[in-house]
Structures are given as C-alpha cells and as structure tokens.
Amino acid sequence: MKALILSANNFEDSELLVPLYRLQEEGYGVEVAAGEQGCISGKHGYEVRVDKTFAEVDPADYAVLILSGGKAPASIRDEATVQAIVRAFFDADKPVGAICHGPQILVSAGLLNGRRATCYRTVAEELRAAGAEYQDREVVVDGRLVTARQPGDLPAFMRELVRLLPQ
C-alpha cells in the first residue's frame, strides 16, 4: 500500500513528518509530491525529498492522501493538477487527511460544502464560506475525511486516520 503527501516549501515540519513516519510504521510506502523535483523545505528547516511532481502522480496508485499545513497549501491550492488529484481521492472514497492549513486545498477544489471539518483558527471563516460545518475540535472525522487544527492535534489526527486505512 502507498500513501501520498502533497506539499511545497514552507510546510509545517511536524505536520508532514509525523504522518510520513507514522504511515511508514503502518507498512505504507509514502511518496511526497510537489511542483518540482528536488527537495522542499519546512518552516523550521527540515528538508524532504520530492518523489514525484504533481503531474507525475496517478491517484489510483495510492490508498491515502495527506495534506499537511504551514504555508505550503496556500502556494499550491490553485493548481489545477493538485485539485484534480484531491478530487480523485474523494471520488474513489479513499481516506484524506488534512491538518492546519491543509483544508485550504479542499476549499479550492470545492470539496467541503456540506462536510464537517476543522482547521487552523485563521482558516475557519474560509471553511465556513466554502459551506463546511466548522468544528473547533482537535480532530473531526466526516466519512473518509479526517481534519485537525494544529501540530498539537497530530496524535488524534493520526489515530483517526490510521483507523480508516485499508488493511
């Protein structure tokens, strides 16, 4: 089984690295996709190797999608390829985890109308405007969508996401 993380420079380090390592612990191969090959850098200096560009991603190859936070989601949310990847996961009813600013990508893809979700507090009004029922809780599960607010919520976020993984 494989997992996909979509990101860019200025990601929130813990929100990318914790899911990456936790999914590896579950036996998943984890690939990071970004706009260009090479490495992306987190807000706190961690570098992560990019396995594929967005254009090289085939969503059918993956069982779960992670959208980490930081400033990365704002920089990729309007890319048509990124939106198509996210929509493909929703259309296939695969688990999607979005934390902190990660749900901004879901907003841009038009996927939150009528859904329950949470996010970093500064993004809450954007979720509401997109038709989501915003809940200020450490983790919100709505079907196959798992959202969380911030790095301190990572244990709950990963607990709920792991429950949804195909075995």
Residue in the block written with tokens 């990456």:
20
Helices (H) and strands (E) in the chain, counts: 6, 11
CA dihedral over 124, 126, 127, 129, signed as positive or negative: positive
Q: Which of 101, 123, 151, 157 is catalytic?
A: 101
Say whether 44 is catalytic. no
What is the distance between the alpha carbons of residues 161 and 167, in angstroms, rounded to a whole number? Answer: 13
Type of residue at 88: A
Report CA-CA distances (Å) from 158 to 22, 55, 131, 151, 152: 8, 27, 25, 11, 11
Active site residues: 101
